Amino acid sequence: MRDRPVAARDDRGGEGALTTAQRIITKNDVLISHQAVNLPDVLPLSARNAEVKIRYTVDVSPCAASQSTSLYLYRVGAPFIASVHGQKLTSSLPYVGLRDSFIMQTGGWFSHNGRVPVVASGSFGDSFEDKAEFSKKIYHTGISAVIMITSHFAKQEDSDDVLIGNFDKFFQMTGNIPMGTYECPSPYKRILSPYVFKYLLGTNRMKYHKDTTIIFEKVKEKIELVGKNKLEFYDACIANTMYSLQAGAKGMSAISGNLYPEIIVWMCNNSTNPGRQEDVKYIQQQLTKTEDILAQNYPLSAKYFLHKRGLPIEVISRINTVPLTLQQTVALDDTYKVFLGWCDRLGIKPAHT
């Protein structure tokens, strides 16, 4: 966990860490403990259970005298509900305002002892000034790069030149902060053309790109543009795994990576291995076949699968509240058995919690 999990900044430029909290732990509505704790709080293993509920109460009264106060919350773990004076905020939104007085940023973006570099979306806000300010705040949490959602920088009908102009304006407002891009489907999917992608590579600011083009020939065209640039290219389409990796992609960023990361890692390590091509082709076929199963009622499907793998996680979602059907759970159960078969074939020992 970060050394400053909760912090507040007021309109006078003051900023300070909130170092203590009241922690209440219950299990099946029975009180387990209620005590004062120092922040950051490292939970006991017994509390890391789907049946356990944890509540923290933090005193923010020192900020009350300011006309404008921002509250930043950094967390690692399961979904949570936060409230200010009884009004609930939710971690499903990356940027949320409450009566123009509080800004809560959630997501647990950090580098654990420098071992895991993390990137995080930061292009939120109504204006470019808002986007730039928010990106600076996210970057100062310790992440490696700020990710720009491509559709945040132009309307759907805007030309590539308009998009480039808006990117350029944003870059000028964010200093030398390393950047990345994600062709997110929401609010609409803005695929970067080779023309725009080449411009971004030329800024020398880019470290990351998550591509959702899907059509491999178009994906390959952008991979070839990367060359020796420091940008790392990740394809989101699992059907492209073998092909994109062989074409030079750094890795994959598909939803199946949440369910069986061992298999995706194996593909990243072996797609260009001449001695494992038979297995590579087989696994590629299997990944493509099972992706439709995983995509049904995602992310509930992923949480169900991870729970089946032993992760103490509840099968609930803030995004999709429709429960899994019996047919979907049976298909996921069968996919779990198939996954274990892949591991046997490849000589992989599945990770267990």
- The domain 109-253: what is its CATH number? 3.20.20.70
DSSP-derived pairing of the beta strands 20-27 and 251-252: unpaired
What does the pLDDT read at residue 59? 75
Sheet of strand 206-211: strand arrangement: 119-121, 145-149, 179-182, 206-211, 232-235, 251-252
Helix (H) or strand (E) holding 305: helix 300-308
The pTM (predicted TM-score) of the whole model is: 0.71
The answer to whether the bond into 274 is cis (omega within 30° of 0) is no
User: Is residue 126 over pLDDT 50?
Assistant: yes
Task: Find out whether 146 and 178 touch, Cβ atoms under 8 Å.
Answer: yes
pLDDT tens for residues 181-206?
999 998 999 999 999 999 999 999 99
Give 198's Cβ-side CA count (13 Å radius): 8
Looking only at the bridges linking them, the beta strands covering 145-149 and 179-182 are parallel
By residue count, the chain amounts to: 353
Residue 300, phi then psi, degrees to nearest 5: -60, -35
Token pair listed for 35: 């005590």
User: Which tens digit of pLDDT belongs to each residue from 11-37?
Assistant: 444 556 678 888 888 888 888 889 998
Spatial CB neighbours of 193, under 8 Å, sequence gap ≥ 6: 160
pLDDT band at 149 (very low <50, low <70, confident <90, very high): very high
Give the mean pLDDT of 158-179.
97
pLDDT at 208: 97
Rounded CA-CA distance 58/136 in Å is 25
Pseudo-torsion of CA 167, 171, 172, 176, nearest 10°? -170
> What are the sequence ranges of the domains in the chain?
1-106, 109-253, 256-353
